[in-house]
Structure 1
Amino acid sequence: MQRTFKYLCLTILTTVLFISCGDGVSLQRYYVENQENANFISQDFPISMLKIDKSSFTDAQQEAYNSVQKLNFLGFNASKDNIENYTAEITKVKSILSHEKYNDLMEVSDKGRKIMVKYIGEDDAADEVVVFATDKNMGFGIVRVLGNDMNPEKIGVLINSLQNADFDGAQIENIMNFFK
């Protein structure tokens, strides 16, 4: 009887572990699986490395900037030779980002470029903000913004302001060269 009870408990525990682990692909797993792929470039860096000119930031932008600690970048270089692979990878990323844990923050389309911003967490405190940008001629990039007590609305304002910000381009030169 005691032996049967042990087997029953072990079976239930094993079942719970398998169910909780899940087989879903996460963005983190996608990064890890592709960081060594020749079509991809991966780089992690603290936001301070960008040396952004914050002199014209509003208080909300400054607060959002200070809440960000590091950025994880993964980019795919599109070319005529890998258009099918490019399309397949876009589909994978969109599938991951369509999961219910990702909340929509904003979407922008301009001159064939699309930018989608999503976040994980609550409306007043995001655990992670994800920026997914595509360009048929260059490829796509995913930036995971990681920090503490990030306010998604303020991060959205910060992202908009960074489009015209003055920053040291040498810091991300190898990423830009990858897409040439």
Structure 2
Amino acid sequence: MRTTILFSFVALLLVGCDAGPSLEKYFVAHSEDPNYIVMDVSPDILNVSKESLSAADVSAFESFEKMNVLAFKATNKNKALFGIERDKVDALLKDKKYQQLVRFGTGKEGASLSYVGTNDHIEEFVLFANKKETGFTVIRIMGDDMSPTNVVTMLRLLKKSKVDLAQLKPLEQLMK
């Protein structure tokens, strides 16, 4: 009886795990690849005192958990790889769990903003931007019960904050 229960539990775990490709798995798989710059950014980057924030600002700030950045720097040596990897990310973002808010650009160059969750309870925003000459960047903004209002508030806070640029140091390589 105990063996049957244990076997059932393990089978449930295996069935429950999604073995397919995902954006999370893509980030992990490329975290050590020299063509990529990978970084995690905490809410501390805003460098703001909660005491100086309004209740709405605090709510927005507390809904933001972290941001993952993955950037592929295109060079003359990896142009073919750039196209392949860009198409992989684009395919991952076509998964039904991602709801596209906006897409702009021409052809295979441009940007898109998608989200996971419902209109009022967003778990994740994904910004995907790419340009043939420079590469592409995927930014995952994860939070707990974010709303579009919280995102707008966070952008406003970002503009008036004293951003901790030390956390963004790895992106300097991409800009060079």
TM range, normalised to the smaller chain? 0.7 to 0.9
Shift in Å at residue 177 of structure 1? 2.2
What is the TM-score when the length of structure 1 is the normalising length? 0.73
Tell whether the 8 Å contact from 2:128 to 2:139 is kept in structure 1 after alignment. yes
Q: Which residue of the other structure, out of 44, 48, 55, is the alignment partner of 1:48?
A: 44
Secondary structure of 1:35's match? coil
2:114 and 2:125 in contact (8 A); partners too: yes
Equivalent position SS for 1:49:
helix
Q: Tell me, yes or no, if structure 1 residue 146 matches structure 2 residue 136.
A: no
Please name the residue that 1:30 is paired with: 26
In the alignment, structure 2 segments of 5+ residues that lack a partner are none
Q: Which residue among 158, 170, 173 is the counterpart of 1:174?
A: 170
> How does 1:99-178 map onto structure 2 within 5 Å?
99-109=95-105, 114-152=110-148, 154-155=150-151, 157=152, 168=163, 170-171=165-166, 172-178=168-174
What are structure 1's unaligned runs of at least 5 residues? none
The DSSP-based 3-state class of the residue aligned with 1:87 is helix
Which residue of 65, 69, 75 corresponds with 2:65?
A: 69
Task: Give the TM-score normalised by structure 2.
Answer: 0.75
Change (3 A) 1:32 1:67: same
- Per the TM alignment, residue 147 of structure 1 is displaced from its structure 2 partner at its CA by 1.4
State yes or no: 1:85 paired with 2:75: no
Post-superposition offset of 1:51: 3.8
Shift of 1:136: 1.8
Q: Which has the larger radius of gyration?
A: 1
Distance 1:159 1:78, change over 3 A: farther
Greater CA deviation, 164-173 or 32-41?
A: 164-173
CA RMSD between the two structures = 3.5
- Contact kept? 2:124, 2:142, Cα under 8 Å: yes
Question: 1:22 offset after TM fit, Å?
Answer: 3.9
Calculate percent identity across the aligned residue pairs.
Answer: 28
Distance 1:147 1:31, change over 3 A: same
The count of corresponding residues between Structure 1 and Structure 2 is 167
Question: In the TM superposition, what is the alpha-carbon distance from 1:161 to its structure 2 partner?
Answer: 5.6
Do the aligned partners of 1:139 and 1:179 also contact (CA within 8 Å) in 2? no
